[in-house]
Amino acid sequence: MNTLDVKQGVLYMGLYALTHSVVLSAVSYLSHELSTSTLFFFRILIGLMFIFPVLVKRRTALFQTHYFSLHILRAFAAFLGGYALFYALSTIPLTLVVAISFTAPVIATLTSCLLLKETMTKAKAMATMLGFIGVFIILRPNLDSNLYGILAALITASMAAVAFITVKKLTSHENNDTVVALPFFLILPISTCFAVIDWTMPDQSNLPLLLLIGAGFSVSQYALAKAFSLAEASLLLPIDFCRLIFVSVISVLFFGNDIDGWTVTGGTIILMGSLLIFTKESNQKKVERASHK
């Protein structure tokens, strides 16, 4: 991994943080007018339209994969996590949703230890503890928030952990276009069924934000996949924290909300735990590579 790749990876992660924050803000705004199922359907449909030029360019090559089961798993995580995310944004504050999302790397590590029998190192144990402390700090002053919204945000973080593991695996072996595009084709049929059941007709004033949501999610997912293909997670994770900064600023400027110090503090602690995991893993990989030379 050279310096240029790392710099490009950081830039792509910054693009992901910015576009994702703007999109989540748009979803939070429209959730007061449109149902969760309707919003999620337009996210997939419009996102697919923006991927269409890639389909025209690569044609059948876009669907060629040796890891189809992983794509299925990622699509399932993207659907359940995305649907839960949209519901959470309709019920609890935007900054709270983003802060809880930082638990995803910690959940991924804990899941790997419990299900994949990976070793629970001191660093992983400390990171897990920091994650739980951070969540407690975030939720303590928000116990009057919608409980279902908080649970939805936690489901979102859990599914993001699954996506995190699968994307990292897939980007090591497959083209980024395939990694980004396949979930859209797999999710569209089921999201259509949910939309039919709980449809809300958008008006013309909603269209610009719906386009922003669809396009923004496509850009953010491409940027995330590209970032992970260029740089170690330990280097990218601090950039991801910008999402909490961005949504805090947006909440103040456009939603008239105050910055929640508890949420920022809890999110920072969770991020420290996640960063600890990937820093230790990165150092371990360097030691292993040096021993094989």
Span 23-76, pLDDT tens digits: 999 999 999 899 999 999 999 998 888 777 777 777 777 777 777 888 888 889
Task: Yes or no: say if 93 and 139 are a contact pair by the CB < 8 Å rule.
Answer: no
Report how far residue 232's alpha carbon sits from residue 247's, in angstroms, rounded to the nearest whole number.
Answer: 25
Q: Which residues contact 244 (CB under 8 A, 6 or more apart)?
A: 95, 98, 99, 102, 263, 264, 267
Report how far residue 172's alpha carbon sits from residue 168's, in angstroms, rounded to the nearest whole number.
Answer: 7
Phi–psi pair at 119, nearest 5 degrees = -70, 135
Place of tokens 């703007």: 22
Pick from 161, 156, 216: nearest CA to 25: 216
Structure token pair of residue 179: 């990694």
Tens of each residue's pLDDT in the chain, 293 residues:
566 677 788 889 889 989 999 999 999 999 989 999 999 999 999 888 877 777 777 777 777 777 788 888 888 998 999 999 999 999 988 888 888 887 777 777 676 666 656 666 677 677 677 777 877 777 665 555 678 888 999 899 889 888 877 877 777 777 777 777 788 888 999 999 999 999 999 999 999 999 999 889 888 888 887 887 787 766 676 677 778 778 888 888 877 777 777 777 877 887 777 677 666 666 665 655 556 55
Report how far residue 66's alpha carbon sits from residue 281's, in angstroms, rounded to the nearest whole number.
Answer: 27
Task: Yes or no: say if 164 and 77 are a contact pair by the CB < 8 Å rule.
Answer: no
Task: Yes or no: say if 164 and 277 are a contact pair by the CB < 8 Å rule.
Answer: no
Phi–psi pair at 144, nearest 5 degrees = -85, 0
pLDDT given at position 168? 72
Give the gyration radius of the chain's Cα atoms. 19
Q: Is the pTM of this model over 0.85?
A: no
Residue 101, SS3 per DSSP: helix
How does 37-64 read in b/e, with b if 16+ C-beta sit within 10 Å?
A: bbbbbbbbbbbbebbeebbeeeeeebee
Report how far residue 28's alpha carbon sits from residue 223's, in angstroms, rounded to the nearest whole number.
Answer: 22
Pick from 122, 90, 72: nearest CA to 26: 90
pLDDT given at position 146? 76
119, with CB counted inside 10 A (0-12, 13-18, 19+), is exposed
Helix H or strand E encompassing 146: none
Taking each helix axis as running N to C, give the angle between helix 94-101 and helix 261-291, from 0 to 180 degrees, rounded to the nearest 10.
20
Structure token pair of residue 142: 């928000």
